[in-house]
Amino acid sequence: MDLKKYESKINRVTSLDKLNELEVRFLGRNGEINKLLSEIENIPDEQKKTYGQKINQLKSSMYRYIETKKKELQNKKSDVFFDKTLPGKIYPKGSLHIISNAIEEITKIFEKIGFIRVSYPEVDWEYGAFESLNMPSGHPARDDVETSFIESAPHPRFGKMVLTPHTSNGQNREMRRVGAPPIRMINISKCYRPNWDTTHTPMFHQFEGLCVDREITIANLKGTLDYFAEKYFGKGTKTRLRPHHFQFTEPSFEVDISCNVCGGKRMGCKVCKSGWLELGGTGMVHPNVLKEGGIDHKKYSGWAFGCGIERVIMMKYGLDDIRNYYSGDIRFLEQF
Ligand code: PHE
Protein backbone atom coordinates (compact mmCIF):
# COMPACT_ATOMS: atom_id res chain seq x y z
CA MET A 1 0.00 0.00 0.00
CA ASP A 2 3.00 2.19 0.12
CA LEU A 3 3.22 4.49 -2.91
CA LYS A 4 6.85 5.24 -2.11
CA LYS A 5 7.75 1.57 -2.51
CA TYR A 6 6.24 1.47 -5.97
CA GLU A 7 7.68 4.84 -6.93
CA SER A 8 11.21 3.83 -6.21
CA LYS A 9 10.80 0.66 -8.26
CA ILE A 10 9.46 2.63 -11.21
CA ASN A 11 12.22 5.18 -10.81
CA ARG A 12 14.98 2.65 -11.08
CA VAL A 13 13.78 1.39 -14.48
CA THR A 14 16.01 2.36 -17.42
CA SER A 15 14.20 0.94 -20.43
CA LEU A 16 10.69 1.11 -21.87
CA ASP A 17 10.44 -2.68 -21.99
CA LYS A 18 11.12 -2.95 -18.27
CA LEU A 19 8.66 -0.17 -17.57
CA ASN A 20 5.95 -2.01 -19.51
CA GLU A 21 6.69 -5.11 -17.49
CA LEU A 22 6.22 -3.19 -14.26
CA GLU A 23 3.02 -1.60 -15.53
CA VAL A 24 1.56 -5.05 -16.14
CA ARG A 25 2.78 -6.30 -12.78
CA PHE A 26 1.24 -3.40 -10.86
CA LEU A 27 -1.73 -2.28 -12.90
CA GLY A 28 -2.49 -5.31 -15.07
CA ARG A 29 -5.64 -7.43 -14.74
CA ASN A 30 -3.91 -9.86 -12.39
CA GLY A 31 -1.63 -7.12 -11.04
CA GLU A 32 -0.91 -6.12 -7.47
CA ILE A 33 -3.45 -3.29 -7.33
CA ASN A 34 -6.28 -5.55 -8.41
CA LYS A 35 -5.15 -8.10 -5.87
CA LEU A 36 -5.33 -5.45 -3.15
CA LEU A 37 -8.80 -4.50 -4.36
CA SER A 38 -10.02 -8.07 -4.18
CA GLU A 39 -8.98 -8.23 -0.52
CA ILE A 40 -11.74 -5.77 0.27
CA GLU A 41 -13.89 -8.77 1.17
CA ASN A 42 -11.82 -9.35 4.29
CA ILE A 43 -11.99 -5.76 5.47
CA PRO A 44 -14.57 -4.90 8.16
CA ASP A 45 -17.59 -3.18 6.66
CA GLU A 46 -17.03 0.22 8.27
CA GLN A 47 -13.50 0.41 6.79
CA LYS A 48 -14.39 -0.79 3.30
CA LYS A 49 -15.07 2.70 1.96
CA THR A 50 -11.76 4.27 3.03
CA TYR A 51 -9.89 1.17 1.96
CA GLY A 52 -11.36 1.35 -1.54
CA GLN A 53 -10.66 5.06 -1.85
CA LYS A 54 -7.05 4.61 -0.81
CA ILE A 55 -6.44 1.89 -3.34
CA ASN A 56 -8.00 3.94 -6.11
CA GLN A 57 -5.85 6.93 -5.20
CA LEU A 58 -2.79 4.73 -5.22
CA LYS A 59 -3.81 3.40 -8.60
CA SER A 60 -4.21 6.78 -10.25
CA SER A 61 -0.99 8.19 -8.74
CA MET A 62 0.87 5.12 -9.95
CA TYR A 63 -0.67 5.48 -13.39
CA ARG A 64 0.47 9.12 -13.61
CA TYR A 65 3.89 8.21 -12.37
CA ILE A 66 4.32 5.51 -15.00
CA GLU A 67 3.15 7.84 -17.78
CA THR A 68 5.67 10.51 -16.74
CA LYS A 69 8.43 7.93 -16.64
CA LYS A 70 7.39 6.65 -20.06
CA LYS A 71 7.74 10.12 -21.58
CA GLU A 72 11.10 10.58 -19.91
CA LEU A 73 12.40 7.30 -21.37
CA GLN A 74 10.99 8.02 -24.81
CA ASN A 75 12.76 11.38 -24.92
CA LYS A 76 16.03 10.01 -23.68
CA LYS A 77 18.68 9.97 -26.36
CA SER A 78 19.87 6.52 -27.26
CA ASP A 79 23.30 5.62 -25.91
CA VAL A 80 23.85 3.40 -28.95
CA PHE A 81 25.95 5.05 -31.63
CA PHE A 82 23.92 5.61 -34.80
CA ASP A 83 25.95 5.97 -37.96
CA LYS A 84 23.98 8.23 -40.26
CA THR A 85 26.39 7.63 -43.15
CA LEU A 86 25.49 3.93 -43.49
CA PRO A 87 23.31 3.12 -46.50
CA GLY A 88 19.62 2.62 -45.64
CA LYS A 89 17.72 -0.62 -45.92
CA ILE A 90 16.42 -1.25 -49.42
CA TYR A 91 12.93 -2.66 -49.46
CA PRO A 92 11.65 -4.47 -52.58
CA LYS A 93 9.49 -2.19 -54.72
CA GLY A 94 6.19 -3.22 -56.23
CA SER A 95 5.70 -2.85 -59.96
CA LEU A 96 2.98 -2.94 -62.57
CA HIS A 97 1.75 -6.37 -63.65
CA ILE A 98 3.01 -7.73 -66.96
CA ILE A 99 -0.50 -7.30 -68.46
CA SER A 100 -0.73 -3.67 -67.35
CA ASN A 101 2.67 -2.98 -68.89
CA ALA A 102 1.62 -4.56 -72.17
CA ILE A 103 -1.62 -2.52 -72.20
CA GLU A 104 0.42 0.64 -71.75
CA GLU A 105 2.91 -0.35 -74.44
CA ILE A 106 0.23 -1.27 -76.99
CA THR A 107 -1.73 1.90 -76.22
CA LYS A 108 1.36 4.05 -76.87
CA ILE A 109 2.08 2.31 -80.18
CA PHE A 110 -1.41 3.10 -81.47
CA GLU A 111 -1.66 6.57 -79.95
CA LYS A 112 1.42 7.50 -81.95
CA ILE A 113 -0.54 7.03 -85.18
CA GLY A 114 -3.62 8.89 -83.97
CA PHE A 115 -5.71 6.15 -82.36
CA ILE A 116 -7.76 6.94 -79.28
CA ARG A 117 -7.70 4.52 -76.36
CA VAL A 118 -11.11 3.60 -75.00
CA SER A 119 -12.44 0.94 -72.66
CA TYR A 120 -15.99 -0.27 -73.13
CA PRO A 121 -18.20 -2.25 -70.70
CA GLU A 122 -17.15 -5.77 -69.84
CA VAL A 123 -20.76 -6.57 -69.04
CA ASP A 124 -22.89 -5.64 -72.03
CA TRP A 125 -26.15 -6.48 -73.73
CA GLU A 126 -26.30 -9.24 -76.31
CA TYR A 127 -26.94 -6.41 -78.75
CA GLY A 128 -23.40 -5.04 -78.28
CA ALA A 129 -21.73 -8.44 -78.38
CA PHE A 130 -23.77 -9.91 -81.25
CA GLU A 131 -26.70 -8.10 -82.92
CA SER A 132 -24.80 -4.90 -83.64
CA LEU A 133 -22.10 -7.11 -85.20
CA ASN A 134 -24.31 -8.68 -87.82
CA MET A 135 -25.13 -11.72 -85.68
CA PRO A 136 -28.92 -11.69 -85.22
CA SER A 137 -30.36 -13.85 -82.46
CA GLY A 138 -30.55 -17.49 -83.45
CA HIS A 139 -27.62 -17.11 -85.83
CA PRO A 140 -25.34 -20.17 -85.56
CA ALA A 141 -22.19 -17.98 -85.52
CA ARG A 142 -23.15 -16.93 -82.00
CA ASP A 143 -22.42 -20.45 -80.81
CA ASP A 144 -18.80 -20.13 -82.00
CA VAL A 145 -18.25 -17.52 -79.34
CA GLU A 146 -18.85 -19.30 -76.07
CA THR A 147 -20.48 -16.77 -73.82
CA SER A 148 -21.38 -16.43 -70.14
CA PHE A 149 -24.79 -14.91 -69.55
CA ILE A 150 -25.80 -12.83 -66.57
CA GLU A 151 -29.05 -13.81 -64.91
CA SER A 152 -31.20 -10.76 -65.49
CA ALA A 153 -34.47 -9.74 -67.08
CA PRO A 154 -33.80 -9.33 -70.80
CA HIS A 155 -33.96 -5.84 -72.26
CA PRO A 156 -36.81 -5.57 -74.81
CA ARG A 157 -34.44 -4.34 -77.52
CA PHE A 158 -30.93 -5.26 -76.38
CA GLY A 159 -31.54 -8.80 -75.10
CA LYS A 160 -29.81 -10.51 -72.17
CA MET A 161 -26.70 -9.32 -70.39
CA VAL A 162 -23.43 -11.09 -71.11
CA LEU A 163 -19.85 -11.02 -69.95
CA THR A 164 -18.36 -9.68 -73.18
CA PRO A 165 -16.67 -12.54 -75.06
CA HIS A 166 -14.66 -10.08 -77.21
CA THR A 167 -13.85 -6.39 -77.44
CA SER A 168 -15.82 -6.11 -80.68
CA ASN A 169 -18.76 -4.88 -78.56
CA GLY A 170 -16.87 -1.57 -78.55
CA GLN A 171 -17.32 -1.11 -82.31
CA ASN A 172 -20.96 -0.04 -82.23
CA ARG A 173 -20.47 1.98 -79.06
CA GLU A 174 -17.54 3.87 -80.60
CA MET A 175 -19.43 4.59 -83.84
CA ARG A 176 -22.32 5.96 -81.77
CA ARG A 177 -19.98 7.97 -79.53
CA VAL A 178 -17.99 9.59 -82.34
CA GLY A 179 -21.01 10.15 -84.57
CA ALA A 180 -19.32 10.84 -87.89
CA PRO A 181 -16.00 9.39 -89.11
CA PRO A 182 -13.02 9.58 -88.93
CA ILE A 183 -12.85 6.90 -86.25
CA ARG A 184 -9.54 5.62 -84.91
CA MET A 185 -10.26 3.46 -81.88
CA ILE A 186 -8.11 1.20 -79.76
CA ASN A 187 -10.41 -0.53 -77.27
CA ILE A 188 -8.70 -2.54 -74.52
CA SER A 189 -10.84 -4.48 -72.05
CA LYS A 190 -11.29 -7.74 -70.24
CA CYS A 191 -13.13 -10.53 -72.06
CA TYR A 192 -14.65 -13.75 -70.79
CA ARG A 193 -14.98 -17.23 -72.27
CA PRO A 194 -15.40 -20.43 -70.29
CA ASN A 195 -12.04 -22.06 -71.10
CA TRP A 196 -9.12 -23.02 -68.88
CA ASP A 197 -5.93 -24.56 -70.30
CA THR A 198 -2.35 -23.61 -71.13
CA THR A 199 -3.43 -21.02 -73.69
CA HIS A 200 -6.83 -19.94 -72.29
CA THR A 201 -8.05 -18.37 -69.07
CA PRO A 202 -11.77 -17.64 -68.48
CA MET A 203 -10.88 -13.95 -68.15
CA PHE A 204 -8.43 -12.45 -70.59
CA HIS A 205 -7.75 -9.14 -72.34
CA GLN A 206 -8.15 -8.09 -75.94
CA PHE A 207 -7.19 -5.01 -77.87
CA GLU A 208 -9.47 -4.05 -80.71
CA GLY A 209 -8.59 -1.62 -83.44
CA LEU A 210 -11.28 0.12 -85.49
CA CYS A 211 -10.63 2.56 -88.29
CA VAL A 212 -13.48 4.11 -90.29
CA ASP A 213 -13.04 6.90 -92.82
CA ARG A 214 -13.40 7.67 -96.51
CA GLU A 215 -11.59 5.28 -98.84
CA ILE A 216 -10.19 2.96 -96.19
CA THR A 217 -8.85 -0.22 -97.79
CA ILE A 218 -7.16 -3.50 -96.92
CA ALA A 219 -3.87 -1.77 -97.75
CA ASN A 220 -4.41 0.57 -94.78
CA LEU A 221 -5.19 -2.43 -92.60
CA LYS A 222 -2.09 -4.31 -93.70
CA GLY A 223 0.08 -1.21 -93.23
CA THR A 224 -1.22 -0.69 -89.70
CA LEU A 225 -0.68 -4.35 -88.76
CA ASP A 226 2.87 -4.20 -90.17
CA TYR A 227 3.55 -1.06 -88.17
CA PHE A 228 2.26 -2.67 -84.97
CA ALA A 229 4.14 -5.94 -85.54
CA GLU A 230 7.48 -4.15 -86.02
CA LYS A 231 6.97 -1.84 -83.05
CA TYR A 232 5.79 -4.51 -80.63
CA PHE A 233 7.66 -7.64 -81.72
CA GLY A 234 10.76 -6.01 -83.20
CA LYS A 235 12.17 -4.84 -86.51
CA GLY A 236 11.79 -7.17 -89.44
CA THR A 237 8.61 -8.85 -88.13
CA LYS A 238 6.27 -9.48 -91.04
CA THR A 239 2.51 -10.02 -91.13
CA ARG A 240 0.33 -12.05 -93.46
CA LEU A 241 -3.43 -12.31 -93.90
CA ARG A 242 -5.16 -15.67 -94.27
CA PRO A 243 -8.79 -15.87 -95.44
CA HIS A 244 -11.20 -16.59 -92.59
CA HIS A 245 -14.79 -15.91 -91.61
CA PHE A 246 -16.25 -13.47 -89.12
CA GLN A 247 -19.83 -12.23 -89.27
CA PHE A 248 -18.82 -8.63 -88.69
CA THR A 249 -16.09 -8.30 -91.32
CA GLU A 250 -16.14 -8.90 -95.05
CA PRO A 251 -13.69 -10.02 -96.26
CA SER A 252 -12.31 -11.55 -93.05
CA PHE A 253 -8.82 -12.77 -92.23
CA GLU A 254 -6.70 -14.26 -89.58
CA VAL A 255 -3.49 -12.33 -89.23
CA ASP A 256 -0.16 -14.05 -88.57
CA ILE A 257 3.25 -12.66 -87.75
CA SER A 258 6.55 -14.18 -88.82
CA CYS A 259 8.05 -16.22 -85.97
CA ASN A 260 10.85 -14.23 -84.36
CA VAL A 261 12.47 -17.36 -82.94
CA CYS A 262 13.30 -18.96 -86.31
CA GLY A 263 12.85 -15.78 -88.35
CA GLY A 264 10.19 -17.46 -90.47
CA LYS A 265 12.59 -20.21 -91.62
CA ARG A 266 10.52 -22.79 -89.73
CA MET A 267 13.02 -25.71 -90.06
CA GLY A 268 12.58 -27.59 -86.80
CA CYS A 269 11.31 -24.52 -84.92
CA LYS A 270 9.50 -25.66 -81.77
CA VAL A 271 7.67 -22.38 -81.27
CA CYS A 272 5.92 -21.93 -84.63
CA LYS A 273 6.23 -25.17 -86.66
CA SER A 274 5.10 -23.26 -89.77
CA GLY A 275 7.23 -20.10 -89.68
CA TRP A 276 4.15 -18.06 -88.66
CA LEU A 277 2.27 -17.38 -85.42
CA GLU A 278 -1.40 -16.43 -85.26
CA LEU A 279 -1.94 -12.91 -83.93
CA GLY A 280 -5.73 -12.49 -84.12
CA GLY A 281 -8.79 -11.85 -86.28
CA THR A 282 -9.37 -8.97 -88.67
CA GLY A 283 -11.17 -7.77 -91.78
CA MET A 284 -13.05 -4.94 -93.46
CA VAL A 285 -16.03 -3.78 -91.38
CA HIS A 286 -19.25 -5.34 -92.70
CA PRO A 287 -21.69 -2.77 -94.20
CA ASN A 288 -24.38 -3.98 -91.79
CA VAL A 289 -22.11 -3.13 -88.84
CA LEU A 290 -21.54 0.39 -90.20
CA LYS A 291 -25.28 0.83 -90.78
CA GLU A 292 -26.07 -0.33 -87.24
CA GLY A 293 -23.56 2.23 -85.95
CA GLY A 294 -25.36 4.99 -87.86
CA ILE A 295 -22.63 5.34 -90.50
CA ASP A 296 -23.30 5.71 -94.22
CA HIS A 297 -21.64 2.59 -95.66
CA LYS A 298 -21.71 4.05 -99.16
CA LYS A 299 -19.61 7.00 -98.10
CA TYR A 300 -17.34 5.31 -95.58
CA SER A 301 -15.45 2.07 -95.19
CA GLY A 302 -13.32 0.68 -92.41
CA TRP A 303 -11.36 -2.17 -90.95
CA ALA A 304 -11.22 -3.81 -87.53
CA PHE A 305 -9.02 -6.30 -85.75
CA GLY A 306 -9.01 -8.03 -82.37
CA CYS A 307 -6.05 -9.68 -80.59
CA GLY A 308 -5.46 -11.18 -77.16
CA ILE A 309 -3.07 -9.30 -74.88
CA GLU A 310 -2.02 -12.45 -73.00
CA ARG A 311 -1.40 -14.06 -76.36
CA VAL A 312 0.85 -11.35 -77.80
CA ILE A 313 2.96 -11.31 -74.63
CA MET A 314 3.37 -15.09 -74.88
CA MET A 315 4.44 -14.72 -78.50
CA LYS A 316 6.88 -11.93 -77.70
CA TYR A 317 8.64 -13.75 -74.87
CA GLY A 318 8.07 -17.35 -75.97
CA LEU A 319 6.00 -18.23 -72.87
CA ASP A 320 4.15 -21.53 -72.83
CA ASP A 321 1.56 -21.29 -70.04
CA ILE A 322 -0.93 -18.41 -69.89
CA ARG A 323 -1.96 -19.36 -66.35
CA ASN A 324 1.34 -18.01 -65.01
CA TYR A 325 0.02 -14.47 -65.46
CA TYR A 326 -2.61 -15.05 -62.81
CA SER A 327 -0.95 -17.54 -60.46
CA GLY A 328 0.47 -14.70 -58.35
CA ASP A 329 3.95 -16.26 -58.31
CA ILE A 330 6.25 -13.28 -57.85
CA ARG A 331 9.23 -15.22 -59.25
CA PHE A 332 7.47 -15.44 -62.61
CA LEU A 333 6.28 -11.83 -62.63
CA GLU A 334 9.61 -10.41 -61.55
CA GLN A 335 11.26 -11.52 -64.77
CA PHE A 336 9.49 -8.86 -66.81
N1 PHE B 1 -13.77 -10.53 -82.19
C2 PHE B 1 -12.94 -11.50 -82.87
C3 PHE B 1 -12.51 -12.57 -81.86
O4 PHE B 1 -12.58 -12.35 -80.68
C5 PHE B 1 -11.72 -10.86 -83.46
C6 PHE B 1 -12.03 -9.85 -84.52
C7 PHE B 1 -12.14 -8.49 -84.21
C8 PHE B 1 -12.19 -10.26 -85.84
C9 PHE B 1 -12.39 -7.57 -85.21
C10 PHE B 1 -12.44 -9.35 -86.84
C11 PHE B 1 -12.55 -8.01 -86.51
O12 PHE B 1 -12.09 -13.64 -82.24
Query: Closest ligand 1 atom, CA of 252?
Result: 10
pLDDT at residue number 201 = 93
Give me the pLDDT at residue 146, please: 85
Shortest-distance Cα residue to atom 4 of ligand 1: 166
What pLDDT was estimated at residue 102? Answer: 97
Nearest CA to ligand 1 atom 9: 305
Give distance in angstroms: CA of 134 to centre of ligand 1. 13
Dist. CA 315 → ligand 1 center (Å): 18
Phi/psi for 165 (5° steps) reads -85, -10
Ligand 1 center–CA 137 separation, angstroms = 18
| Residue 263 CA to ligand 1 centre (angstroms) | 26
Q: Give distance in angstroms: CA of 235 to centre of ligand 1.
A: 25
pLDDT in the model for residue 1: 58
123-125 sheet: strands from edge to edge: 123-125, 159-163, 148-155
Alpha carbon of 306 to ligand 1 centroid (Å): 4
Peptide bond just before 251 cis, omega within 30 deg: yes
* Residue 207 to residue 75: CA distance in whole angstroms: 59
CB burial of 83-96 (b: ≥16 within 10 Å; e: otherwise) equals: eeeeeeeeeeeeee
Tell me which of 246, 256, 286 to substitute to probe ligand 1's pocket, judged by most ligand atoms within 8 Å of the beta carbon: 246
Spell out the long-range contacts of 20-28 with Cβ–Cβ below 8 A and sequence spacing 24 or more.
22/66, 23/66, 26/62, 26/66, 27/59, 27/62, 27/63, 27/66
Q: Are 205 and 310 in contact (CB under 8 A)?
A: yes
Q: What is the pLDDT at residue 205?
A: 97
Q: Residues 291-336: pLDDT tens digits?
A: 999 999 999 999 999 999 999 999 998 888 888 899 888 899 888 8
Query: pLDDT 10s digit of each residue in the chain, 336 long?
Result: 577 888 888 888 888 889 899 899 988 988 888 898 888 888 899 998 999 899 888 889 888 889 988 888 888 777 778 888 999 899 988 889 999 999 999 999 999 999 999 999 999 999 999 999 999 988 887 887 889 999 989 999 999 999 999 999 999 999 999 999 999 999 999 999 998 888 889 999 999 999 999 999 999 999 999 999 999 999 999 999 999 999 999 999 999 999 877 877 777 777 787 889 999 999 999 999 999 999 999 999 999 999 999 999 999 988 888 888 998 888 998 888
How many angstroms is it from 326 CA to the middle of ligand 1?
24
Q: Whose CA is closest to atom 8 on ligand 1?
A: 281
Which residue puts its alpha carbon closest to atom 10 of ligand 1?
Answer: 282
* Protein residues whose CB sits closer than 6 Å to any atom of ligand 1: 166, 168, 208, 246, 249, 280-283, 304-306
CB count, 10 Å around CB of 186? Answer: 23
Cβ count near 125 (within 10 Å): 22
